[in-house]
Amino acid sequence: MINPNNRLERGVSHIILILFVILILLPIYWMFVSAVQTNDNIFSPRFHLLPLNVDWGNFVQAWRAEPFGIFFVNSIVSNLLIVFFQVITSSMAAYALAFTEFKGKKTIFFLILMAMMIPMQATFIPVYIMLSKVHLINTYGALVIPFIGSAFGIFLLRQGFVSVPKEMVQAARIDGASEFRILWSIVLPNVKPAIVTLVLLNFVFHYNSLFWPLVTTNSTNMRVIPVALSYFLSQDAGQQLQWNLLMAADLFSIVPVIAIFLFGQKYIVKGVANTSLKG
């Protein structure tokens, strides 16, 4: 028999969760309502939860307002390259921190944690100067190279690696397996949630990044989605700004992010759970 107190607690918990879901989804719903209306309807003094006049052509007009095809390609290609290289570099560094013994290992791990606290804005000037000296500004190199290594990626994978039994690694070494073989065949298959979490979080973070692409690119052919969306805000201010087109562009711009989260949401929960501080 179900305890009435437990039933009441569950009911209250569900109500609170439903309210939080509504609060989270309300801005997205309002984006949709604004995207299918005219500017006059958006700023109508009459409150309305449903669009007054639906115009699906706003999505077509927003797409044609800027070369979004180029922007999508630049965003996806640069983000995939960043994720690819980060998985390689982070997994090798995390393996060294988790399964090898060397002098100063704890100090290096501490410095990695400290590096996670340094914002990009504190280092972008010297990085920009170095990229400029090798003529990589306004190229994929400028978008990708500064993020090949990631302190967060090393931390995340290291915390996942320490959950792999060391006996498995030691047995593989006794059998003559190389360190790269152990990493590829034993460790990585056992930490798929951590790897998928790193891929998803990195992709979403860099997909939404505006500051660095805005600084290092200066031509339409190299611009990315966040920079393209900022073009709408650089037009006339106030009600002359085409808010309906901006909302339409926002909606089709977040489709890749929503899709990738729906694909990997179950791995994210496992991956984050494995990052509890260990060792």
Domains along the chain with CATH numbers: 67-228+255-273 (1.10.3720.10)
Backbone angles phi, psi at 3, to 5 degrees: -65, 125
CA distance linking residue 57 with residue 269, whole number of Å = 38
Per residue in 261-273, pLDDT (tens digit) is: 777 777 666 656 5
Q: Which two tokens stand for residue 22?
A: 């509504």
Tell me what pLDDT residue 81 has.
Answer: 95
Residue 5 pLDDT = 65
Q: Which of 97, 1, 43, 66 is nearest to 244 (CA)?
A: 43
Q: What is the pLDDT of residues 112-160, one digit of tens each?
A: 888 888 887 788 889 999 999 999 999 999 999 999 988 999 998 988 8
In the prediction, which pLDDT does 71 show?
A: 92
pLDDT, residue 19, reads: 92
Cβ of 258: how many Cβ atoms within 10 Å? 11
Which residues of the chain have a pLDDT value below 70? Answer: 1-5, 234-240, 267-279
Compute how many other C-beta atoms are within 10 angstroms of the C-beta atom of residue 28.
13
Minimal CA–CA distance to 97: which of 111, 84, 83?
111
H/E stretch holding 192 reads helix 192-207
Where does residue 152 rank: exposed (0-12), middle (13-18), buried (19+ CB within 10 A)? middle
Q: What is the pTM of this model?
A: 0.83
